[in-house]
Amino acid sequence: MSTFRRLNRWSGYMLLLVLTACTGAPNQVSVERVQGAISSHAMVSTAHPLATQVGVDILKRGGNAYDAAVAVQFALAVAYPRAGNIGGGGFLVFRTAEGEIGSLDFREKAPMNAFKDMYLNEDQQVVEGLSTNGHLASGVPGTVDGMVEIHSELGSLTFAELIQPAIDMAINGVVLTHREAEQLNELRDDFRAINNYETHVVRPSPWMPGDTLFQPELAQTLKRIQGSGRAGFYHSTTASLIVDEMQRGGGIITMEDLRDYRSVWREPVVGHYRSYRVISMGPPSSGGIALLQLLAGIAPHNIKQWGFNTSRTVHLMTELERRVYADRATYLGDPDFFDVPQDMLLDINYLNDRFGDINLNKATPSQKVKKGHVEIIESMETTHFSIIDSQGNAAAITTTLNGSYGNKVLVKGAGFFLNNEMDDFSIKPGFPNMFGLVGGVANAIAPGKRMLSSMTPTLVEKDGALLMVVGTPGGSTIITSVFQTILNVIDHGMTMQEAVNAKKFHHQWLPDEIDYEEEAFDQATMEKLMKMGHQLQLRESIGRMDAILRQDGQLEGAADYLRGDDTAIGY
């Protein structure tokens, strides 16, 4: 029997199945299958073990998937403050046990004093760092309004119950993992430079794994939200603390911006891939439309036969991605401000035409699709979680501060970080954001507008029943990671855990290169790809999926324990 793959440190939840492929033949090859957490009732998969446990506890107490989602979001704001948040925003895609689908947009908005060229100097040049660090980088946060909305429309327990575990965690402290201690230490100088007071995230000696992070001010903020709902954040004390912070640091968010923030229920985008129905997030996320375009482009081809990450498969996926990301840059933005041609982008005739010039043996230089030059800064600071409850209700939430700890501004007296989501706008036509993404008028800054996102919380149905809940952080790589993970299960027959673990690659039109994780391709594949005209660029990590597969009466919760501290727990 071949060697077992490495068991993760949450070995209690991981099940290794060794299946003998066929019957009878003496020299049969054993096929080793790796599965995530298996359960028959309910499952929670998140970026942090404490947040996962909070979700499971809520479900066991009789809460539904949406109660658990609200509780997990607040728990992540405490246990995983680099991406979990109350100072940021995100998207929910849901499907109830009865098959009703919907999505909530609680994406941040540009403050009313924002304007198109606010990050440019007198010479119309981008002022470095202004849209990424410090007070001016923050959009008006949407998370708290989003959680209140989710609870009031879909929840069943009291809001106070859902937020209590986060409050307890903030008071009693969170034990830091190795990764968390390391991140806090790495950003120590930034925290110091950007905040003009002693924050609780900086201390005289470096953080060590096993140290406890106490967040008493965050606990007080959460208590205000617990007591007054959205008013506990968007009015009175918390709002005043945010506005005071803005005034101290030269930011522009006002009391009116906070008072007026509202999340929006939107139609999700829906399409079909082979015999599957795919439900994902529409604008102001580009994720759903781009994912459906990619799936439509792959559907005519038998990639199952071509094989996983073979040069033929990778080449086709890359050529599709190149064109889809060019569309993203041109046509996608906040639908409340820009007339996104959604029907056209998903029209099969348009797509046949768009993909019609793909040569299956030769790369198309991105310059021929459209011009530009960009660099990508690595970041893994969004977070996604997936939940299915015992009734079959499903929630997929991707939420973010954008960069690690957002704009690094810790609101004085309120204990939480603000986002740097303004960088997701196209701050100057053709100028790349921190993920190397470019854009133009569709995603230009305007007061009250939402910045374009790549977040792609997604549900997949088979024969009218829920099959998969997927999503990931990763900035521009979110869309291609979700794309690959779905193909890994549907076409390549992987378990959910294998699909999450599988090495990933990414192309985003500009820069014109295939980014790939180590061991994603063997040497021969790399040589073939280069011969076809592709540039290859090694990248540390792509994707960090937290997903659930519902099949044959059981749930498989797959959390990315290889790339993060992610944990899935079911019961």
Looking only at the bridges linking them, the beta strands covering 567-570 and 43-46 are antiparallel
Q: How far apart are CA 300 and CA 519, in angstroms?
A: 28
**Partners of 568 in the β-ladder:** 45
CB count, 10 Å around CB of 231?
17
Is the Cβ of residue 82 or residue 315 nearer to ligand DON in the bound state? 82
Q: How far apart are CA 294 and CA 287, in angstroms?
A: 11
Q: Provide the edge-to-edge strand list for the sheet that holds 567-570.
A: 264-266, 101-106, 89-95, 394-400, 382-388, 43-46, 567-570
For residue 20, the SS3 value is strand
Give min distance, CB of 562 to ligand DON, in A: 16
Is the Cβ of residue 345 or residue 467 nearer to ligand DON in the bound state? 345
Q: How far apart are CA 275 and CA 352, in angstroms?
A: 19
Give the angle subtended at the CA of 270 by the CAs of 499 and 156, to the nearest 5°: 85
Interaction pattern, residues 333-372, with ligand DON; x per rule: CB under 6 A: ----------------------------------------
Give min distance, CB of 234 to ligand DON, in A: 21
Confirm or reject binding of residue 78 to ligand DON (CB under 6 A): no
Is the Cβ of residue 421 or residue 513 nearer to ligand DON in the bound state? 421
Give, as ranges, the residues between 436 and 455 that touch ligand DON (CB under 6 A): 453-455
Give, as ranges, the residues between 244 and 283 that touch ligand DON (CB under 6 A): none
For residue 73, the SS3 value is helix
Q: In terms of residues, how long is the chain? A: 571
Is the Cβ of residue 400 or residue 407 nearer to ligand DON in the bound state? 400
Report whether 471 contacts 500 (CB < 8 A): no
Q: How far apart are CA 496 and CA 290, in angstroms?
A: 22
Q: Which of 402, 443, 480, 508 binds ligand DON (CB under 6 A)?
A: 402
313 is catalytic: no
Q: How far apart are CA 48 and CA 177, in angstroms?
A: 10
Confirm or reject binding of residue 381 to ligand DON (CB under 6 A): yes
Is the Cβ of residue 327 or residue 421 nearer to ligand DON in the bound state? 421
Give, as ranges, the residues between 414 and 433 that touch ligand DON (CB under 6 A): 421, 424
- Two structure tokens written together for 294: 């990619």
Give min distance, CB of 95 to ligand DON, in A: 22
How many residues belong to the site for ligand DON (CB under 6 A)?
15
Q: Which of 103, 379, 393, 485 binds ligand DON (CB under 6 A)?
A: 379
Give min distance, CB of 400 to ligand DON, in A: 5
Give min distance, CB of 334 to ligand DON, in A: 12
Give min distance, CB of 476 to ligand DON, in A: 7
Is the Cβ of residue 229 or residue 287 nearer to ligand DON in the bound state? 287
Give min distance, CB of 272 to ligand DON, in A: 25
CA distances from 420 to 89, 90, 108, 192, 222 (A): 11, 13, 10, 17, 21
Give min distance, CB of 119 to ligand DON, in A: 16
Q: How far apart are CA 70 and CA 497, in angstroms?
A: 25
- Two structure tokens written together for 554: 């059981």
Q: Which of 418, 374, 469 is nearest to 134 (CA)?
A: 418
In order, the DSSP letters of 428-487 are: STT---TTS----GGGB--TTPBPPB----EEEEETTEEEEEE----TTHHHHHHHHHHH
Active-site pick, 52, 382, 458, 485: 382
Give min distance, CB of 290 to ligand DON, in A: 11
Report whether 463 contacts 454 (CB < 8 A): no
CA distances from 55 to 58, 136, 489, 570 (A): 5, 34, 25, 10
Confirm or reject binding of residue 380 to ligand DON (CB under 6 A): yes
Q: Which of 170, 197, 136, 186 is nearest to 381 (CA)?
A: 186
Q: Which of 133, 215, 382, 525 binds ligand DON (CB under 6 A)?
A: 382
Interaction pattern, residues 460-499, with ligand DON; x per rule: CB under 6 A: -------------xxx--x---------------------
Segment (H or E) for 514: strand 514-516
- Two structure tokens written together for 194: 């950007």
Confirm or reject binding of residue 111 to ligand DON (CB under 6 A): no
Give, as ranges, the residues between 164 and 193 that touch ligand DON (CB under 6 A): none
Report whether 488 contacts 498 (CB < 8 A): yes
Confirm or reject binding of residue 400 to ligand DON (CB under 6 A): yes
- Two structure tokens written together for 360: 């299956």
Give min distance, CB of 524 to ligand DON, in A: 32
Q: How far apart are CA 96 and CA 459, in angstroms?
A: 11
Is the Cβ of residue 90 or residue 165 nearer to ligand DON in the bound state? 90
Is the Cβ of residue 149 or residue 421 nearer to ligand DON in the bound state? 421
Is the Cβ of residue 279 or residue 401 nearer to ligand DON in the bound state? 401
Q: How far apart are CA 479 and CA 452, in angstroms?
A: 13
Q: Which of 429, 559, 556 is nearest to 501 (CA)?
A: 559
* Range in contact with ligand DON (rule: CB under 6 A) among 332-340, 376-384, 503-511, 552-560: 376-384
Is the Cβ of residue 149 or residue 424 nearer to ligand DON in the bound state? 424
User: Which of the residues are catalytic?
Assistant: 382
What does the binding site for ligand DON look like in residue numbers (CB under 6 A)?
379-382, 400, 402, 421, 424, 453-455, 473-475, 478
